[in-house]
Amino acid sequence: MSSIELEGVTKRYPGGVQAVSGIDVEIGSGEFVTLVGPSGCGKTTTLRLIAGFERPTEGRISIGGEDVTDLPPYERDTGMVFQQFALFPHMTVGENVAYGMEVAGEYTGEEIDARVAEMLELVELPEVGDRRPEQLSGGQQQRIALARALAPEPRALLLDEPLASLDKKLREGMQVELRRIQREVGITTVFVTHNQEEALTMSDRIAVMNDGRFEQVGEPETVYDEPETRFVADFLGTANVFDGTVSAVEGDVATVECGDATVRAERRDGVGSGDSVSVVVRPERFGFVDRSGGADSGKNVFEGEIAFRRHLGSSVEYHFETGEGRTLVIVRRNGADRRAVGERVTVGVPPEACRLVEA
């Protein structure tokens, strides 16, 4: 287990294309960190820089306290799993798992055999050592690729969208398995994905990338509930966004005039009257409000009509249209607060559930 540190890392390609722009991050020993962002944001380039497949134009990369900036991939002692697994079709599963150890030339035949057996047990495929990769399912091949990467006991594990080619059910199952294996081994892991759900459910921390930079790095719950930028709010999950101007700040609450609506939100340091801001509200923070008694408990309330309803299994998504033409997305637990399309309702959200970010 080793830490990974990137200091001021920049990657420019010929023609002036800058894929990574001065990023800084420290990944702790045994930590699982996910780089997430849209296509072309620089996340795969960042992983390739850590692996040594790319050299930074500027900056420093260290693994386990050792400066590896100028070292080739085979001297960095990292394990890599690719999107397409890249198993050797002419080798058996056992030979694939043993490959990295044999190339290293540091193990006896008995040590290799024992390690291969250990790795196949770890990925819960102890009986497939004599098969060819094409005789395995996609999920099984993914596990073997992981076993091959872990067999030489690398200092860090690098995963480049290894679940992208799997179907939804298998991918969800492999998310659990991959995290189980990572925790059991305790290896420092950097995982790249464009799938927000994978990033939120698998990681100790996530780094949201945009245009070659880290927009926000933090624990999944924090990044989701407390986005620091509008990009993070929009990219990571669904967000209801109100753009407007701060009209007043009283205590811990800022009042924002958003044209068709006035929204009260939790105050953010550095925000004052006259500032242009966006208010972010996650769909699950809205609730239906019974105003027959006139009580709304200080919530921001909106009146309108259910225009669309979508069943998501454990939850239900509603598209709610206000009288001013704004559409809000609301998610409620399945079986609670059931509403029908066309029904007139009132929804509310407390100020502390409304997040201020720069416009």
For 62-83, the pLDDT digits (tens) are 999 999 999 999 999 999 998 8
Q: What span, in angstroms and rounded, lies between the C-alpha atoms of 109 and 235?
A: 49
End-to-end CA distance of the chain: 41
The pLDDT confidence band at residue 165, using thresholds 50, 70 and 90, is confident
Residue 169 pLDDT = 86
Q: What span, in angstroms and rounded, lies between the C-alpha atoms of 253 and 24?
A: 33
Residue 357 pLDDT = 93
Asked if pLDDT for residue 240 goes beyond 60, the answer is yes
**Does the predicted model carry a pTM greater than 0.85?**
yes
Domains of the chain: 4-231 (3.40.50.300), 238-358 (2.40.50.100)
Distances in Å between the Cα of 278 and the Cα atoms of 25, 147, 263, 285, 358 are 27, 46, 10, 17, 6
